[in-house]
């Protein structure tokens, strides 16, 4: 497969798009709160596609992955699986036709950066919407995507501790707490990095002021993590999923922190 234009790529792959701006409720907050158009890609999480894009996933995060929330969750409930199948196709494209995928991605970023500038917004990119790929090691024409767009701000969440070593200058990472990786989280916090923690707190309830001695900020106001400060806990409220039995299992695990039991006793 040879990439020529975005239009021809959609026809050849039968995919409506590879990624886009303002394609989720939380990403839209980036525009309203942080003055950013954020380009986002959703791939099939964990090994759903046959390729593992989440090497450090845990049973709880696989069960409660955001790939089953929002429009994707409604799609699954209706038995359509259109969104799920599209994400699987994109993930297979990444692994099986990497040059085509990267050419398309680069064309997308050029296109949407121009749109952001035209509309008077800053432009940022989150490549791991529902994946945890180490994009610093994905080379295309001898360069990774951060080198290709050195003026663009990229950001992601990650459970991979090694990604925080020699991170590209234009790539902001927030470490994801799983209930099992506090030692690594604490090391990064002491280095001034931030850690995202999911709390069992209602939409109208206050997040804890601190967690294990570190300040908690409200991570639900925007998805744009770049301006969060340093050495803070990014508090995220647990988002409901379609399967209520699974939801109960996740809430009762250490992945979701109970404000009155931070040590998961």
Confidence of residue 80 (pLDDT cuts 50, 70, 90): very low
Question: What is the tens place of the pLDDT at every residue in 236-262?
Answer: 999 887 788 888 888 888 899 998 887
Q: What is the pLDDT of residue 74?
A: 44
Q: How far is CA 78 from CA 24, 72, 75, in A?
A: 19, 10, 5
Nearest to 191 by CA among 231, 221, 134: 231
Mean pLDDT of the 92-118 span: 98
What mean pLDDT do residues 121-148 have? 97
The residue ranking higher by pLDDT, 264 or 111, is: 111
Contact at 8 Å (CB) between 196 and 128?
no
Whether the CB-CB separation of 129 and 158 falls below 8 Å is answered with no
Least confident among 22-26, 28-32, 35-39: 22-26
* Number of Cβ atoms within 10 Å of the Cβ of 155: 21
- Percentage, residues of the chain above pLDDT 90: 79
Once rounded to an integer, what is the mean pLDDT over residues 42-60? 93
In 96-138 the beta strands, taken as DSSP E runs, fall at 122-126
Residue 120 region, left (φ>0) first, then alpha (ψ -120 to 50), else beta? left
For residue 148, with 0-12 CB atoms within 10 Å meaning exposed, 13-18 middle and 19 or more buried, which class applies? middle
Strand ranges in 66-152 using DSSP code E only, listed in sequence order: 122-126
| pLDDT-derived band at 182, boundaries 50, 70, 90 | very high
Q: Which residues pair with 39 in a beta bridge?
A: 21, 125
Question: What pLDDT is recorded for position 59?
Answer: 82
Q: What is the DSSP string of 189-201?
A: HHTT-EEEEEE--
């Amino acid at each position: 497969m040879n990439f020529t234009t975005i239009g021809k790529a959609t026809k050849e792959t039968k995919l409506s798009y590879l990624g886009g701006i303002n394609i989720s409720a939380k990403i839209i907050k980036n525009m309203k709160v942080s003055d950013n158009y954020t380009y986002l890609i959703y791939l099939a999480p964990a090994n759903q596609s046959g390729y593992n894009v989440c090497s450090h996933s845990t049973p709880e995060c696989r069960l409660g992955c955001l790939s089953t929330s929002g429009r994707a969750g409604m799609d699954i409930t209706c038995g359509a699986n259109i969104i799920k199948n599209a994400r699987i196709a994109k993930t297979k494209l990444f692994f099986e036709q990497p040059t085509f995928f990267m050419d398309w991605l680069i064309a997308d970023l050029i296109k949407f950066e121009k749109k952001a500038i035209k509309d008077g917004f800053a432009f940022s990119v989150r490549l791991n919407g529902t994946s945890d790929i180490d994009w610093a090691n994905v080379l295309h024409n001898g360069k990774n995507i951060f080198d290709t767009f050195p003026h663009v701000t990229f950001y992601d969440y990650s459970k991979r501790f090694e990604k925080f070593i020699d991170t590209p200058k234009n790539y902001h990472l927030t470490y994801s707490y799983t209930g099992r990786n506090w030692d690594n989280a604490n090391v990064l916090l002491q280095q001034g990095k931030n850690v995202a923690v999911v709390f069992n707190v209602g939409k109208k309830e206050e997040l804890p002021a601190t967690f294990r001695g570190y300040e908690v900020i409200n991570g639900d106001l925007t998805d744009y993590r770049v301006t969060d400060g340093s050495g803070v806990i990014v508090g995220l409220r647990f988002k409901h999923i379609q399967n209520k039995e699974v939801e109960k299992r996740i809430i009762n695990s250490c992945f979701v922190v109970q404000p009155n039991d931070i040590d998961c006793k």
